[in-house]
């Protein structure tokens, strides 16, 4: 099974793809997609839509794992990220992917066994689980891979 993990954002969206086959998890690819801060929200959402659709077409994942929104102090940012999440979920649904959503607590617990783990601990476990020689960069991409791994652990 190929899993596309998404760390949603309006300005910067992390993505990561892992393979889960017979209990073995393997890293495939990851990165970040950015939109221009001075662009209108509808334009940014369309770019996110097109990027996610192209990513799905290129990698043909079986499942989509998306991080759930956590409380954001900046209400405008939270609303814009929620809009981006909606677009991501829509593209996944239109593409026929199995969709799951995970909270940051679930991701941290799944990878480290501790829901209050530091970001560095999660990144360490991602590298250890996937036998990576180098740390995944940037952080948004590493978070997306962690989200994809969380889904892999949940379907075992």
| pLDDT above 70: residue 109 | yes
Superfamily of 2-103+136-154 according to CATH: Ribonuclease H-like superfamily/Ribonuclease H (3.30.420.10)
Catalytic-residue membership of 50: no
Q: List the end-to-end C-alpha distance of the chain, in Å, as a whole number.
A: 11
DSSP string, 2-27: EEEEEE--SSEEEEEEEEEETTEEEE
34-85: per-residue pLDDT in tens? 999 999 999 999 999 999 999 999 999 999 999 997 666 778 788 999 999 9
The pLDDT of residue 69 is 78
DSSP 72: -
Q: Choosing from 7, 25, 123, 143, which is the catalytic residue?
A: 7
pLDDT at residue 21, as a whole number: 93
What confidence score (pLDDT) does residue 72 get? 61
67 is catalytic: yes
Domains in the chain: boundaries = 2-103+136-154
């Amino acid at each position: 099974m190929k899993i596309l993990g998404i760390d949603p954002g309006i300005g910067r969206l992390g993505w990561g793809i892992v393979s889960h086959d017979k209990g073995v998890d393997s890293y495939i690819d990851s990165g970040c997609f950015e939109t221009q801060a001075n662009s209108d929200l509808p334009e940014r959402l369309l770019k996110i839509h097109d990027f996610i659709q192209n990513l799905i077409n290129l990698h043909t994942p079986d499942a989509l794992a998306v991080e759930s929104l956590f409380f954001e102090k900046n209400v405008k940012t939270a609303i814009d990220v929620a809009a981006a999440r909606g677009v991501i979920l829509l593209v996944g649904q239109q593409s026929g992917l199995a969709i799951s959503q995970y909270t940051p607590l679930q991701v941290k617990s799944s990878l480290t066994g501790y829901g209050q783990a530091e970001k560095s601990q999660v990144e360490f476990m991602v590298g250890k689980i996937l036998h990576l020689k180098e740390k995944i960069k940037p952080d948004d991409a590493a978070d997306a891979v962690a989200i994809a791994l969380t889904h892999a652990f949940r379907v075992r």
